[in-house]
Structure 1
């Protein structure tokens, strides 16, 4: 006689679940495949999006969730959360009108909004010149961009006018975009030296941008914008350092502070099959800026020049493609700017471990403060700030077609060139991060 072992109800439920799952997988492969399809295309979003695009409506959603830990260094060991959701809609006017004109020939109307979550931590407790994350902002629900975009039929001319984030077009190293540290995106000079961090996310000033492609090798672009997106009355605001809360909804169109003009020339190169792009640019600002030595006195005008090099160093022979970048910035107006020069550089390996879509990168950067910027010691004496340095090691894994997971390690060395907090020098910090980005 066979004896039957008694099992608890929870064990029977688990066994039943396993058996039932095995039965479904063996007898209904189509249903199993459909469940996997949900992972690669949640809710059939791709098909729905394509239908809308045919009708002239393009909707895109990006959600970023980040966890950060500072186990040692800075003014205080701590943990932080940063979140961002970007919803953008582009309307193809020709398609919407039912016209038989070439797609895009009537231009596009574009609008986007940001939901920003979490509390910034680079100012405190890190005391950093640069932001640890490009997603780090004051928490607000705000209008982001509002623009009209027109591209000529031959593709040589591309124009945008409206409320624009110019950091999407200018001063960009495409290789560096894998890194999470904000200085590898929008650089430290405009971020620290201009009103409200300059014409960059999450604020966007009224602007017009013209992009012209001369040939496959040469292109140029120029933009004119207001230099103070939030319309903040004061350049320095100790209670709102980035002045983002002066316009929390992003609906202000300010024209009264000064004009910001930025231009850039780019040259595509090919050396033995190893491609690259070299860029040179400048900006000028007609606004007034307080002096570093005496903030009660201001001077009109500001400028910067910069150069960028992105280049393939090793072609993909099965182990991945190695790319490198260098970006240098400089301003001669040290009397009114916090940062006089900066440099960042790095290496990125595309498709490591034969994983297409993944990237691993190591980056380095430094900021040289103005020699007019003085640091107060606890004993009441003053000294010049030293350089601030940062390092980053990161791995971006494309887990699903719509989901990327990116562990990250950063080192912040000599924060703000030697800052003090409550009479104690702020220590160099080790920072761990985990970034999760979903795009739909």
Structure 2
């Protein structure tokens, strides 16, 4: 194209138009250099010309519990993800329209469920073995993409309550944290369970974003009391339960970015400053929630005279705040940087096991020369057992024949290194230490608290 344009010979109008169209087609080609299967013999590019993008990846893990918990052996878990996104402007000329559907192939076993007794899984990829639908939604943009509305089956943890820096870490608390995961029915609409809802995203300025969603609060429709599967993921294991029979979960979030980075940052003449994002939000669930200490007659649930039917409370709220901030980089041209994050959530203790959750950490990007896409991180988090749940433990201790511990705070520390070996392969060795698992929950096999846990893991991701 450049050679033609630099030629002194004149072009007719038809010739010039053909040249522009050829260049436009080149620019709109799908880049598949980061895929193991590449263009799949032209199949991906053929789909892309009609607005269809096919994404396939496999996440696989090995975990070894060396101390603590109830057992000590190695386990495997893995998740295959297939996602199809359709740009409806390319397909049928509907500007701003986007359709998305995704499936999961979940395999292996959960080391947390089998061995650990922690409040939340030590890996965000642990789930019930199944082949299930994850998301199925339609999104429409308005006002020059300042506003978009998404409707359908969706997992809210992809947009709400998330720290970008914390997403490096594998422990599930750094993703969708303990507060909603433990306290809401089935953990709320979060991976691998989605629910029907509508989400609004409005960006009045380049730095401010406002989000709101209203979704069904319980993806499976099952109660808390499922001893065989507390996560309820085995209920409707194919993800085909479009539940609308329980409560509503309302969630809103405001996001503000400081020091936005211009395009062509490495060539900028003025340093725009270190970027950061700050978020505040809250959610409210309209359903009924069981009291942590008393039955419907006001007696302690652990009392021999109790009916065993908890007192119920209408509604449940969670407030939260998140900070993601880059704090250092040697120069604008350098890929190396250090970022920090912090997040807190708070909610009432009378109807929730965990009433306060916090996590924090830092990431070092490009820690070594010629390793621009590698990231090293250290993260810490904790979950505070609510006062009413602790009171219930004291009640149980007074009625028990033997020892019954009062739960306190659970702490977790994670050290991880994410190495991009090839454009399509990531390998991530991981170390975690869990102090006071489950807040110090009873190990029924020994009659004492579960001991602190030391875990080593290896996570791999292959992008096909």
Question: What's the CA shift for 1:384?
Answer: 3.0
Change (3 A) 1:383 1:432: closer
User: What is aligned with 1:32?
Assistant: none
Distance between the aligned counterparts of 2:213 and 2:33, measured in 1?
A: 41
Does residue 401 in structure 1 map to residue 423 in structure 2? yes
Normalising by structure 2, we get a TM-score of: 0.82
Q: How does 1:185-224 map to 2 (within 5 A)?
A: 185-224=175-214
User: What is aligned with 1:363?
Assistant: 379
User: What is aligned with 1:372?
Assistant: 388
Distance between the aligned counterparts of 1:140 and 1:44, measured in 2?
A: 28
User: What is aligned with 1:349?
Assistant: 364
Q: Deviations over 1:288-340 (max 9, x none)?
A: 11111135222110001000000001024458200000000001x21110100
Distance between the aligned counterparts of 1:216 and 1:92, measured in 2?
A: 24
Question: What's the CA shift for 1:64?
Answer: 0.4
User: What is aligned with 2:238?
Assistant: 249
Q: Deviations over 1:82-133 (max 9, x none)?
A: 1001101112223222x3x6xxx15122111111111112134211012100
User: What is aligned with 2:219?
Assistant: 229
Matched position secondary structure for 2:259: strand
Question: What's the CA shift for 1:382?
Answer: 4.8
Q: Choose which of 37, 50, 71 in structure 1 pairs with 2:45.
A: 50
Does residue 59 in structure 1 map to residue 60 in structure 2? no
Change (3 A) 1:245 1:66: same
User: What is aligned with 1:284?
Assistant: 284
Distance between the aligned counterparts of 1:224 and 1:265, measured in 2?
A: 15
Matched position secondary structure for 2:116: coil
Q: Which runs of 4+ in 1 moved over 4 A?
A: 38-41, 376-379
Change (3 A) 1:236 1:278: same
Distance between the aligned counterparts of 1:44 and 1:371, measured in 2?
A: 54
User: What is aligned with 1:429?
Assistant: 453
User: What is aligned with 2:343?
Assistant: 327
Change (3 A) 1:278 1:44: closer
Distance between the aligned counterparts of 2:384 and 2:37, measured in 1?
A: 49
User: What is aligned with 1:160?
Assistant: 150
Question: What's the CA shift for 1:40?
Answer: 6.3
Matched position secondary structure for 2:113: coil
Distance between the aligned counterparts of 1:263 and 1:384, measured in 2?
A: 35
User: What is aligned with 2:432?
Assistant: 410
Aligned residue pairs total 396
User: What is aligned with 2:324?
Assistant: 310
Distance between the aligned counterparts of 1:435 and 1:204, measured in 2?
A: 24
Contact 2:442-2:450 within 8 A present in 1 as well = yes
Q: Which runs of 5+ in 1 are unaligned?
A: 1-37
Q: Choose which of 58, 76, 84 in structure 2 pairs with 1:81.
A: 76
Q: Which runs of 5+ in 2 are unaligned?
A: 1-31, 261-271, 295-308
